[in-house]
Amino acid sequence: MSHKNRINLFWLILIALTLFATLIAEAVTPDKLTVLLVCFIIFVKGHMVIDEFMGLREAIPVIRYTIHSYFILLPTFIALTIIFPEFLAGLTTIK
């Protein structure tokens, strides 16, 4: 597969994932499974962008893993905030 076709394929996959996540998020009342699915899509899209569009597949590992960690931590924090709001509010409240 040529580089141009590969980029086009990944671009189409990113668009499809974005539309799918939007459809899920807008059509369904948010529950734990929906939140986890959307966060997983964020994770997958982030890694695709890092590897295919930012060209960090061959980058220094520290840089690559630092940026990858963003797309591991961000969806995790989003999921935890939505799934366990009372627990996190209790942790962050000054008593």
Q: Say if residues 61 and 28 touch (Cβ distance below 8 Å).
A: no
**pLDDT tens, 64-81?**
899 999 989 999 998 998
Q: Say if residues 41 and 17 touch (Cβ distance below 8 Å).
A: yes
Q: Say if residues 74 and 42 touch (Cβ distance below 8 Å).
A: yes
Whether this prediction's pTM lies above 0.85 is answered by: no
DSSP 94: -
Helix 32-48 vs helix 3-27: angle between axes, to the nearest 10 degrees?
160
Domain residue ranges in the chain: 3-92
Q: Say if residues 72 and 48 touch (Cβ distance below 8 Å).
A: no
**pLDDT tens, 8-43?**
999 999 999 999 988 988 877 778 888 889 899 999
Total number of residues shown for the chain = 95
